[in-house]
Amino acid sequence: MLDSSTLETNMRSSSAGLRAILLLITGVVSTFAQPSEPPKYTGPGSCASPSCHGAVQVKTDTSVQQNEYAIWVVKDKHARAYANLSNDIAKRMARLMGLKSPDQEPRCLACHALSVPDDQRARTFDSTDGVSCESCHGPASNWLGPHTTKGWTHQQSIQEGMKDLRDPANRAENCLQCHLGTKDRNVDHELIAAGHPDLYFELASFSAAMPKHWKEIGEKPNQTPDPYFDVRALAASQAVHLRDQLARVARNAQGNIWPEYADLDCFACHHSLVSTDQSWQQQRGYDGRRPGNPPWNLSRFVVFKQVVNEIDPASSAQLDANISRLYSMITALNSDRTQVAALATSTSAQIAQLVPKMTAASYDQPRTLRMMKAIVADTDYITRQGERPAEQALMALQSLYNAYASKGKPANDSQIQDAINAMFKAVESPSAYNAFTFADLMKAFGRLLPS
């Protein structure tokens, strides 16, 4: 919990905090924008009043905690996303790529700030606030005032421009705009080679690692609890993740550079060099692909493969066939681009039909356990695909186990937690990943699960 002195120090140094005072003085917070006006971005200062979202203490008798701004400005890494564009690594990346200063480069600002056109900015907006409230919740001018009034509903705010993040599929899509990329927000192989981290994501796991500033809908007063929301979020986000990755593959296949190596398994090439007799890659073999051809990164598929088999098994066979064919085509490196784009597009559309099924499905403890066991049963396939697929499976297993154990920990909970920690340790250095070692750890975890 934040103490008053910590918050005061951060608020004093925060331009957003100073703008909050200005907003209170001028009465902007209480001024309702006309719904007919195009929505504009007002900046996080418009949310920072202690009576709104800038309180120090958590409010337990309201539908929101009311300390959301306080948590964001003090603890959330998103608040420092813009500042990261001024560090030495960012400057070196810009130098290597021949870019302008990173904090002025549109490509960098697209994800390290809320970068919107001038005509969508209210006078209180400042892009140097980083990835702020409206990056996730949408432009606030039309609902900022009204949503504080008695009787105003969440749906009314959505109609006025707020994003519906209560839906886990929408939430995942919003996160993936930067954590996977879009046509206009693209982390390609050139950017990674210059020093940008490779992108990976799992909604439930990433959300658990954040300083939580929200209540899920089932946690709000007078709402029906959803005790397995994290499982629902995992299932829906895995579908959205694969859907959007396939859309990216289709774009890249029609782009200027093909193959786009950011779509492939980074650590097939970037791994620790060992003597031939110790190479797990050579011992494992290359799954029908030519040695030397880096494989397509299947991390966005390996978990969803088991999720869809649990929720909608009738769709599983066709999806498996399409992904296998795409894997062969992309890994071949010289396949027909048009065919790759067409198959990626049609498969993405197939998965789009599955997203609402993942969100609407019923989740409980037995289903959660079955999903964990299904992932573990596919250990050999998952681990031989490389470090990123293994890591994705690990994040999913941790999220699923946490949801399972929240309704009653098994007697061997400490052993299971130790097994999870051992797997995380095995991927601390991705380039040193060993498929056989990780497979042994994953199977050991599986043997500890309740029967």
Where is the domain boundary, 163, 188, 219?
163
Mean pLDDT for 43-57 is: 90
Same domain, 231 and 146: no
Same domain, 214 and 146: no
Same domain, 144 and 217: no
CA distance 354 to 314: 11
Same domain, 102 and 17: yes
107 pLDDT more than 70: yes
Same domain, 261 and 324: yes
Mean pLDDT for 345-367 is: 98
pLDDT tens-digit series, residues 112-147: 999 999 999 998 999 899 999 999 999 999 999 999
Same domain, 153 and 248: no
The pLDDT-based confidence of 6 (bands split at 50, 70, 90) is very low
Where is the domain boundary, 146, 163, 180?
163
15 pLDDT more than 90: no
Terminal-residue alpha carbon distance, the chain: 39
5 pLDDT more than 80: no
What range does the domain containing 35 cover? 4-163
User: In this structure, is the dihedral angle defined by the CA atoms of residues 285, 291, 292 and 293, taken in order, positive or negative?
Assistant: negative
Radius of gyration for the chain, computed over Cα atoms and rounded to the nearest angstrom: 23
Same domain, 400 and 351: yes
**Average pLDDT, rounded, for the chain:** 91
Q: How many domains does the chain have?
A: 2
Q: What pLDDT, on a 0 to 100 scale, did the predictor assign at position 51? A: 87
- Is residue 197 in some structural domain? no
The residue ranking higher by pLDDT, 26 or 247, is: 247
pLDDT tens-digit series, residues 285-323: 988 889 999 999 999 999 999 999 999 999 999 999 999
* Contact yes or no for 76/211 (Cβ under 8 A): yes
- Residue 111: phi and psi, rounded to 5, are -120, -20
- Is residue 332 in some structural domain? yes
- Is residue 23 in some structural domain? yes
- As separate numbers, helices (DSSP H) first and strands (DSSP E) second, the chain gives 20, 0
398 pLDDT more than 70: yes
- Is residue 363 in some structural domain? yes
Q: What pLDDT, on a 0 to 100 scale, did the predictor assign at position 155? A: 95
pLDDT tens-digit series, residues 237-258: 999 999 999 999 999 999 999 9
Q: What pLDDT, on a 0 to 100 scale, did the predictor assign at position 36? A: 58
Same domain, 243 and 359: yes
* Contact yes or no for 304/241 (Cβ under 8 A): yes
- Is residue 195 in some structural domain? no
pLDDT tens-digit series, residues 205-222: 999 999 999 999 999 888
Same domain, 274 and 399: yes
Q: What pLDDT, on a 0 to 100 scale, did the predictor assign at position 23? A: 44
The residue written with tokens 């904090």 in the block is 103
- Is residue 147 in some structural domain? yes
Same domain, 253 and 153: no
Where is the domain boundary, 110, 136, 163?
163
Same domain, 73 and 149: yes
Amino acid at 213: H
- Is residue 180 in some structural domain? no
Same domain, 154 and 208: no
pTM to 2 decimals?
Answer: 0.90
2 pLDDT more than 50: no
- Is residue 212 in some structural domain? yes
The pLDDT-based confidence of 27 (bands split at 50, 70, 90) is very low
CA 17 to chain centre: 28
Nearest to 16 by CA among 91, 85, 76: 76
Give percent of the chain above pLDDT 70. Answer: 92
- Residue 43: phi and psi, rounded to 5, are 90, 155
